[in-house]
Amino acid sequence: MALSESQIPPDAQHYLVCGTKDCKKNCQFYCNNCNQQMCEQCREEHQKNRITKNHEVVLYKLRNRQLPVEKCKIHPTRQIEFLCEECQIPICSKCTATKEHRGHMFTDLEIVFAEKCSFCQEEIAKIRNYFEPTSQDLKNKIAEDVTKIKNFMKGIKTAMKAEAESVKKLVDTVTSDKIKQVNKIEQSLLKTLNDQNQTIDDYINYLNDLIKTFYGNLSTSDIKHLTFALKSEKILIKTIPETSKPVQPVFTAGQYSKEDVAKLLGRITVPNTKPENRKIKPMETASTQLKPTGKQRQQDREKSDVKQTLSLSSSVTKVRQYIVPGVSSVLHISLGKSGRFWGNDNDGNLVQTDLQGNQLQMILTSGGTQSYHTVTQDGNLIYTDRDNKVINRITQDNTITGFIKTGDWRPLSIHSSYINGDILVGMETDEEAKVTRYNKTGTEIQNIQRDNKGQALCVYSYPHHITENINGDVCVSDYNNAVVVVDKSGQHRFSYTGKRSEFDPYGICTDVLGHILVCDDISKTVHLLDQDGQFLSLLLPPQQGIKYPRSVCVDDEKNMWIGEFYNVVKVYKYLK
């Protein structure tokens, strides 16, 4: 049996088409009066029509949700339309005239249904915007405390060993005993922190289950279940568990004396102090802190104005074309400032070029087809060295330095966030793959590899291209023939595997509207998705002259740049 629209899971991929007769174009709008899906062209015609020009036409996601159709059990020919306020049961129009409901008050079920949907959406937003990120912040603080405790205890051990070295044989036995005491205290402190960490993990799992509950309420088509849910008390979200900061032990240095070996060495004690609870921002405070500054509000208004005036063009128009000297192909493009850009080929040649086609700089790297370079917020280029497991930085005075060491992991793809300057790196070993997030200074702050239960996500096999969307989603073009998208907390949102049976994704980027653009080596074109993974269109038909698109990016003028398997870059206008 086919699922109704309200039963489709929120993360499912489905292609919406215009509901106008004989029109099969992509649906972007919805008429609340007609309950009809529309493409952009049909919307314009709908609003020009004398009869329907005053209808309420909105973006599809902002549509009024339709009340599920259900027949009255007492009058099978009638549909349930009202809620009896006194009996708290759904009834049809004929039931309102019966003696059982005489004198009762009735409410339109569409209003009740809308209120229920609104409540669920608000609760989901509350969890996403406050409870979940606040819990994640606590996890990060616990991880910081784990590092501090380890470093602090390491310092205590070093001090003890330094004292023991000066008196050698006299203190060997005592030192051994005291080291064991330190380890025991360390284990106790770390156990407390690990228990707190597990508590927060359990709470985040609870939040995820609660989200599923609310989505379930959104998708219900059972009127009785709906009204029962309304009648019952609202679900209260459990408060975030309290956690406490560890109290660091105090090391007191000892005095050297041959008479009493035990007194020669310092001793470690744990202060009899109650651990200080970590502060949890109340929801009101969190909301206040999220208020933008005057400059941010101005920027947000400008972005909003851009979004309101931009939309997909009905056709893609070529603007210009560049020949990139010094490379055999352009497999990834990093746009810089002052009309300069970087491009690389499969042989490790990384070149900087101006818009007149002049080569400004060339570097030989260990990179290949991956998006292994990116320009940071401060205008410097950083690129991965897969062989030496390091990320290098090229400053504007052309100095190359090692920036980040990646340990046992081979860095593949890299992207500098336009949102906050964080650095996202796709990595691999011989057995597994992951995405690691660093801050602007190169400090590791997040690993996207496992879910809340510690199980491998199994979503990455070879993350060779990576980018970030305007909502913080991390979008990866993976070698397992899928575009894999996780949210900013690292939870898997969806995987896009193409419009047809075969899909081979390469370069990937996003634009100011949240679209995801990805090159496909099978269809030899660019797939355009919305930020929820729904396919919108193929941007470059064969007549555009693109044969092997391998890299894609969008510049500040909202133009799409395509790098080919030849040393050619073509620029197109696809928004209007």
* pLDDT at res. 452: 47
The dihedral sign for the CA sequence 150, 156, 160, 161:
positive
Task: Report the range out of 3-7, 160-164, 518-522 with the highest average pLDDT.
Answer: 518-522
Q: How many helices (H) and strands (E) does the chain have?
A: 8, 32
39 and 26 Cβ atoms separated by less than 8 Å: yes
Give the tens place of pLDDT for each residue, 251-275. Answer: 887 665 556 666 666 777 778 888 8
- Of 66-70, 267-271, 373-377, 455-459, the one with minimum mean pLDDT is 455-459
- Whether pTM exceeds 0.85: no
* Mean pLDDT of the residues in the chain: 82
The residue-averaged pLDDT of 143-166 equals 84
Assign a CATH topology to domain 305-575: Methylamine Dehydrogenase; Chain H (2.130.10)
How far apart CA 64 and CA 58 sit, in angstroms, is: 9
The residue-averaged pLDDT of 136-150 equals 90
How far apart CA 511 and CA 561 sit, in angstroms, is: 12
- Of 12-26, 101-115, 146-160, the one with minimum mean pLDDT is 12-26
Residue 391 in this model has a pLDDT that exceeds 90: yes
Sheet holding 106-108, edge to edge: 89-92, 80-84, 106-108
The three-state secondary structure class of 493 is: strand
Give the tens place of pLDDT for each residue, 204-240. Answer: 999 998 888 888 777 766 666 656 655 555 667 889 9
The residues near 235 (Cβ < 8 Å, ≥ 6 apart) are: 123, 210, 213
Give the tens place of pLDDT for each residue, 472-526. Answer: 899 999 987 899 999 888 888 899 988 777 889 999 999 988 899 999 988 889 9
* pLDDT at res. 450: 64
How far apart CA 292 and CA 346 sit, in angstroms, is: 44
238 token code pair: 């459990």
* pLDDT at res. 55: 86
Give the percent of the chain with pLDDT over 70: 84
Residue indicated by tokens 């969806």:
494
